[in-house]
Homo-oligomer: A and B are copies of this chain.
Amino acid sequence: MNDHCVATYRLYDDRADFHKKAEGIAVGLTVGSWTDLPEAKKADMQKHLGRVVSVQDHPSDIPGERCADISIAYPDINFSHDIPALLVTIFGKLSMDGRIKLIDVTWSDDFKQAFPGPKFGMEGVRKLVDVHDRPLLMSIFKSVIGHDLNTLREQFYKQALGGVNLIKDDEILFENPLTPIDKRVQVCMEAAQEAEQHTGKKLLYAVNLTGPTFSLRDQALRAIEAGANALLFNVLSYGYDVLHALSQDRDITVPIAAHPALAGAYCSSPHHGISAALALGKFMRLAGADLVLFPSPYGSVTMPKEETQAIREALTTAEIGVASSFPVPSAGIHPGIVPLIIRDFGTDVVVNAGGGVHGHPLGTAAGGRAFVQAIEAVMQGSSLDSYAADHEELRAAIQAWGVKQ
Contacts and interface: CB of A to CB of B under 8 A. Distances in A.
Interface of A: 29-33, 44-45, 47-48, 78-80, 82-85, 87-89, 91-97, 99-100, 102, 142-146, 171-172, 174-176, 210-214, 217, 234, 237-239, 241-242, 244-245, 259-269, 271-274, 295, 300-301, 303
Contact of A97 (B82, B174, B264): B264
A245 to B, nearest CB: 5
Contacts of A84: 210-211, 213, 234, 237-238
B263 A171 contact: no
Contact of A96 (B31, B238, B264): B264
- Stoichiometry (number of copies): 2
A242 B265 contact: no
A217 B84 CA distance: 16
Given A88-B237, A174-B85, A211-B80, A97 B301 contact: yes
Given A96-B303, A273-B273, A174 B80 contact: yes
B172 A88 contact: yes
A48 B146 contact: yes
A265 B174 CA distance: 27
Given A48-B145, A237-B239, A174 B262 contact: no
Given A80-B176, A96-B263, A263-B95, A31 B272 contact: no
A172 B29 contact: yes
Given A88-B171, A176-B80, A301-B93, A239 B213 contact: yes
B175 A88 contact: no
B268 A272 contact: yes
Contacts of A234: 84, 88, 92
A49 to B, nearest CB: 9
A47 B295 CA distance: 30
16 contacts: A31-B145, A32-B145, A44-B146, A48-B145, A78-B172, A80-B176, A80-B210, A83-B237, A84-B211, A89-B172, A91-B261, A91-B262, A92-B237, A93-B261, A214-B217, A237-B241
Contacts of A145: 30-32, 48, 78
A44 B178 CA distance: 13
Given A143-B33, A174-B80, A269-B273, A96 B295 contact: yes
